Amino acid sequence: MGLDRTSLAAFMAGLGEKAFRAQQILPWIHQRGVTDWSAMTNIGKGLAARLQAAATVRAPELLSEHVSADGTRKWLFGLTDGNAIETVFIPETDRNTLCISSQVGCALDCAFCATAQQGFARNLTAAEIVGQVWFAEHHLRRVLGHDERVLSNIVFMGMGEPLLNLKEVIPAIAVLLDDYAYGLSRRRVTVSTAGVVPAMARLQEGAPVSLAVSLHAPDDALRDTLVPINRKYPIAELLEACRAYVRGDARRRITFEYAMLAGVNDDPQQARALARLLRTVPAKVNLIPFNPFPGTQFLRSAPEAIDRFRDILLQAGLMTVTRRTRGDGIQAACGQLAGVVRERPHRVVQLHAV
C-alpha cells in the first residue's frame, strides 16, 4: 500500500520483473481498489501467484465510523500493534477533503490539542498513511454511489506532527501525487506543521506540497506556552523558513492556522501584532474557532471577537478566512482527534525522528 512507483519497481525487480510492472499494478490498487492479485488481469497468473506469496495489499482495520449531520465522517482505524488512529472526511460544495494522521499520538504537547493529550507512541508507516486514503476513496465510492474519484484534497492535519515522520510521509505523498495512483496536484495536498524548522527544507526538496503552519500566537512568550516547540524554534526562525519554502514561486502562500482561544490570543492588539508579524511573508490566515474536548482549560472565542480579529487582519491586507467548524458533534473537528494510544511515552520533542 505504501510503495511509490520507484519503490514498487524495485520490489518487482527483486522478483525478476521489469519496472513497467509498477505502472500496471499501481492503478489496480489505488484507482480501482483491488487487493486480490489474481484479479489484476494484465499481470498474468504466474506473476499473480508470486505476488500472492510475497506481498499483501491491506488497509488499516475499520473499528468505527461516525457521520455528523453536516456529512462529515470520522473513522477509527485499528493498527496491527493495538494502537488506533482517526481520519476525517469533510465534504464541501467545491471539494472533498480528507484529513489524515501521520503518527500515533503526538510528541509536541500543544496545549489546546486533544491528540497531544494522548502522548506519543510511534510514527505511522507509509502504508498506514496511504491506507487511510485508500479506504476513504473506495469506501466513499460505494456508500455515495460514485464511479469517479471522490477525494479532491488531502491534508496532513490529523494525529501527529508530519515533519517528524518525513521518512514515511514523503513516500506516501509520492503515491498521492502519482498519476498512476491518486493523481493529486501538489497544491491539493497540504502538510501542516507546528514548526519543525529543519524539516521544512527537507519537505520542500522531497515533496514540495502546500504548507500550513500552526501559529496560534503573535509573539514568542505566548507561543512558548501554547506550542512548546517554539522554545526551540522561535517565531523569527519559523518565518524565515516559511519565506524560504515559497521563495521563487510568486503564486504560493503559506497558510497560518490560528486557533481562537477566548481571552488568550483573540485580543485586537494581538490581531494587529499578527498583521505586523506576517507583513513580509506570503501568507493566508485561517482563523479556527477552538473546538473543545474533555479536560481542556480553553474556551472558544465569541463570534464577535473572531469577526473583529478577522476584520483587523483583512484591513491590514492579509488574506484571512474563518474556518467553518465541521464535525464537532462527533469529535471530528480540528484539534479533537484522539484515537487510541496503547503506549504513552513521555511527551518530548523527538527531533531525532525527522
CA distance 135 to 232: 37
DSSP bridge pairs for 87: 75
- CA 161 to chain centroid: 8
Only one residue has cell 453536516, namely 70
CA distance 132 to 112: 25
Residue 183: all three cell numbers together? 493523481
- Quick one: which of 288, 272, 273, 271 has its CA closest to 322? 288
Number of H helices, E strands in the chain: 10, 12
Residue 115: all three cell numbers together? 491528540
Residue 203 identity: L
Using CB atoms within 10 A of its CB, is residue 205 exposed (0-12), middle (13-18) or buried (19+)? exposed
CA distance 49 to 47: 5
DSSP 154-171: EEE-SSS-GGG-HHHHHH
Query: Radius of gyration of the chain from Cα atoms?
Result: 21
Annotated catalytic residue, options 106, 110, 113, 334: 334
DSSP bridge pairs for 256: 213, 285
Residue 31: all three cell numbers together? 484507482
CA distance 176 to 283: 25
Does 334 qualify as catalytic in the annotation?
yes
Does 86 qualify as catalytic in the annotation?
yes
- CA 113 to chain centroid: 15
CA distance 335 to 213: 14
Annotated catalytic residue, options 86, 161, 168, 257: 86
- Quick one: which of 251, 254, 152, 158 has its CA closest to 203? 254
Task: Give catalytic residue positions.
Answer: 86, 334
